[in-house]
Amino acid sequence: MGSLKIENIRKSFGHVDVLKGIDLEVEDGEFVIFVGPSGCGKSTLLRVIAGLEDATSGEILIDGKKVNNTPPAKRGIAMVFQTYALYPHLSVRDNMGLGLKQAGKPAEEIKERTRIASAMLSLDDYLERRPSELSGGQRQRVAIGRAIVREPQLFLFDEPLSNLDAALRVNTRLEIARLHRQLKATMIYVTHDQVEAMTLADKIVVMNKGQIEQVGSPMELYNSPQTLFVAGFIGSPQMNLIEGAKLGDATAKNVGIRPEHIQISKTSGTWKGSVIHVEHLGADTIIYLQTDFGPLTVRLFGEHQYNVDDVLYATPDAGRTYRFDDKDMIIKG
């Protein structure tokens, strides 16, 4: 009941092409995350799906029905915004009920649906308050509640956690994951934070410069990135990207190796480098090395004691290197 199909969507603002031909299919009940650097067009794509922006060309199908000319309110969607966007003059209850009231639903039904949503988000104690009397986390819960009440076919989230502090972000992330399991609804979520993407998504859509770079499950993207951009974008700390020529690899323009796929030794190894900085994170230790071919980041699990200027040898795990050609595409095999 909540599938989405996008066919060759383009969007231009004047002479600037923001979306350059997007094709995407989202299955019913999937949690799909659009991720990419700022300005990559992910929010614009979400707005086009919502109907807040018109696509310059292309088709959008929700549940198999073309919705290009359907106003946002009739598309069967609900949206949660980064800035919460609660109506400041309405109580929490009225904020949640407004959409249904506009749709002409009977008061009893509005009351019942609001009750269910507020119980789900533990907002019962705040129903009569104004948004200005709530904390940031509570406001975002109200915004999510407002979406749930509409019982949409498609939930759209536009960077919903960006305005929350770190601790609340983790909590709200868990809450959204729980809601997705509970409601079994199709959700589309935009973020620039790859941690959110990796932890929540069934399917991640990596976007760059108005185009889709790769679509896949979090582990697919992590284990087999198809392009240099995806390789560099997914994973933290970033994958080490080294020019092939410097490693004596004539066929690859760039070679990538993740920091966690490198072993360190004090005596021998493939690459020799000296320590420029060490970060102790408790569970991880991150070591920055200066080598003959440039900087190299290494992530070790657990606590390790190394000092600046120590000379270390690094060895990449066999079969964990990625090679990219001069078009930045992966070289198979």
State the CB neighbour count (10 A cutoff) for residue 36. Answer: 27
Q: 268 in helix, strand or coil?
A: coil
Minimum distance of other proteins from residue 57's CB (angstroms): 18
List the x/- string, 95-124, binding to other proteins by CB under 8 A.
---xx--xx---------------------
Q: Which of 87, 217, 277, 320 binds other proteins (CB under 8 A)?
A: 87
Closer CB to other proteins, 144 or 287, in the complex: 144
- Beta carbon nearer to other proteins, 104 or 282: 104
List, edge to edge, every strand of the sheet that includes 65-66.
16-26, 4-13, 57-62, 65-66
163-192 binders of other proteins (CB under 8 A)? none
79 lines the binding site for other proteins (CB under 8 A): yes
Q: Which is nearer to other proteins, 35 or 50 (CB)?
A: 50
Binding mask 8-47 for other proteins (x = CB under 8 A): ---------------------------------------x
The answer to whether residues 139 and 123 touch, using CB atoms and an 8 Å cutoff, is no
Q: How far apart are the first and last CA of the chain?
A: 40
d(C-alpha 126, C-alpha 37), whole Å? 36
Near other proteins by CB under 8 A: residue from 88, 248, 282, 302: 88
Nearest C-alpha neighbor of 273 from the set 237, 248, 238, 242: 242
Among 19, 24, 40, 50, binds other proteins (CB under 8 A): 50
For tokens 């974008």, the residue is 233
Which is nearer to other proteins, 71 or 248 (by Cβ)? 71
Bridge-based pairing state of the strands 284-291 and 311-316: unpaired
Cβ atoms of 251 and 236 closer than 8 Å: no
DSSP helix/strand/coil, 129: coil
Supply the DSSP symbol for 273. E
Any idea what the Cα angle at residue 180 is, between residues 7 and 100, rounded to 5°? 80
**Least distance CB 89 / other proteins (angstroms):** 6
| Complex with other proteins: residue 150 or 258, whichever CB lies closer | 150
CB-nearer residue toward other proteins: 148 or 289: 148
Position among 61, 70, 81, 202 found at the interface with other proteins (CB under 8 A): 81
Closer residue to other proteins, CB minimum distance, 110 or 287? 110
Contact with other proteins (CB under 8 A): which of 16, 38, 69, 71?
A: 71
146 vs 261 by CB, closer to other proteins: 146
Please give the full DSSP string across 219-255, using - where no structure is assigned: HHHHH--SBHHHHHHSSSSPPEEEEGGGGT-SS-SEE
Measured CA to CA, the distance from residue 25 to residue 286 in angstroms comes to 38
**Residues within the interface to other proteins (CB under 8 A):** 47, 50-52, 71-74, 77-79, 81-89, 98-99, 102-103, 146, 150, 158
